[in-house]
């Protein structure tokens, strides 16, 4: 699905990835997969690919934690920016990460935007976002069941979608 998806914010190009070694391999791999430059504010691609243990950082979360690719199985991990370096699974593989982002972007981008500073959020508006979150949860569960657990990247995102606060 991702190969044909036009990302709202364009694709990442990793201009400072390096010309050799693992950064070169990772840059080519990521460019081939058409990583989005940004996914709302939940993911922003970095300019540089940085080794983090056995992982490669290729983006940042809204909280500035690292989004990393595992070199062996292409799983995607969130690595804490705190000194403890704790990490948590985002997706079982990069293709699932991209497919889920593409589905979420398509579904959410189709919704009418409301500036909550100008108007009270009506019950119908709130219910629509809850339904959207539930629909996306079902789709994510089919694509990559291990990615949905309490406190996970996608569970937190869906909670924010249900509140209309995903950006």
Residue of 62, 46, 157, 49 whose CA lies nearest to 101: 157
pLDDT at 45: 96
In the chain, the number of structural domains is: 2
**What strands lie across the sheet with 66-70, from one edge to the other?**
38-39, 43-52, 55-60, 66-70, 76-79, 87-91
What span, in angstroms and rounded, lies between the C-alpha atoms of 88 and 147?
10
Q: 32, 61, 93 — which closes off a domain? A: 93
End position of a domain, from candidates 69, 93, 117: 93
Its pTM stands at: 0.88
Q: What is the pLDDT of residue 91?
A: 98
Q: Which domain holds residue 59?
A: 2-93
Find the Cα–Cα–Cα–Cα dihedral 43, 48, 51, 57, rounded to 10°. Answer: 0
Of 76, 93, 110, the residue at which a domain comes to its end is: 93
User: Is 10 in the same domain as 34?
Assistant: yes
Q: How confident is the model at residue 3 (pLDDT cuts 50, 70, 90)?
A: low
**One domain, residues 67 and 136:** no
């Amino acid at each position: 699905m991702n190969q044909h998806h036009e990302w709202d914010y364009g694709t990442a190009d990793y201009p400072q990835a390096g010309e050799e070694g693992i950064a070169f391999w990772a840059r080519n791999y990521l460019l081939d997969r058409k990583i989005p430059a940004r996914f709302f504010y939940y993911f922003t691609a970095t300019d540089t690919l940085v080794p983090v243990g056995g992982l490669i950082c290729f983006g940042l979360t809204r909280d500035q934690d690292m989004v990393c690719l595992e070199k062996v199985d292409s799983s995607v991990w969130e690595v804490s920016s705190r000194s403890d370096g704790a990490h948590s699974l985002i997706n079982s593989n990069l293709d699932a990460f991209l497919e889920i982002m593409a589905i979420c972007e398509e579904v959410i981008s189709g919704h009418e935007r409301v500036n909550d500073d100008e108007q009270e959020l009506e019950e119908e508006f709130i219910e629509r976002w809850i339904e959207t979150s539930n629909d996306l949860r079902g789709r994510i569960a089919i694509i990559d069941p291990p990615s949905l657990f309490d406190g996970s990247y996608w569970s937190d995102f869906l909670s924010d979608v249900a509140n209309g606060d995903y950006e």
